[in-house]
């Protein structure tokens, strides 16, 4: 897999319709799977329940990462065409 990276994140996967998964060191891998012409499922291993998925609109300044609610299988299906969105995993607060 090709990664575009800096010292904090690497682009682990993307769809031209605005969905980008950012991979950071020390967190489980994010997977992107196209479910339909207009949907992508973002997931990570179900055993890694100490991490949560966050999203940011790249046009917001300053960037404000927002936690997302996901199911017990650690996956979320999002619709394409809703503008650019970046997703990352972050360790949940204790």
Two tokens, residue 48: 């890694």
pLDDT, tens digit (0-9, with 9 covering 90-100), for 35-46: 777 888 888 998
39: enclosing H helix or E strand: strand 39-43
Number of Cα atoms under 13 Å in the Cβ half of residue 14: 15
pLDDT higher than threshold 60 for residue 74: yes
Q: What is the mean pLDDT of the chain?
A: 76
pLDDT higher than threshold 50 for residue 68: yes
pLDDT, tens digit (0-9, with 9 covering 90-100), for 15-29: 555 666 767 778 888
pLDDT higher than threshold 80 for residue 88: yes
Which domain covers residue 71, as residue numbers?
4-91
Contact 80, 33 (CB under 8 A): no
- What's the CATH code of the domain at 34? 2.60.40
Give the number of domains in the chain: 1
Distance CA 23, CA 61 (A): 21
Contact 27, 90 (CB under 8 A): yes
């Amino acid at each position: 897999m090709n990664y575009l990276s800096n010292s904090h994140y690497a682009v682990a996967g993307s769809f031209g319709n605005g969905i980008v998964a950012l991979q950071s060191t020390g967190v489980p891998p994010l997977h992107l799977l196209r479910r339909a012409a207009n949907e992508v499922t973002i997931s990570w291993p179900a055993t890694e329940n100490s991490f949560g998925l966050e999203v940011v609109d790249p046009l917001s300044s300053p960037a404000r990462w927002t936690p997302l609610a996901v199911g017990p299988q650690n996956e979320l299906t999002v619709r394409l065409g809703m503008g650019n969105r970046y997703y990352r995993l972050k360790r949940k607060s204790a």
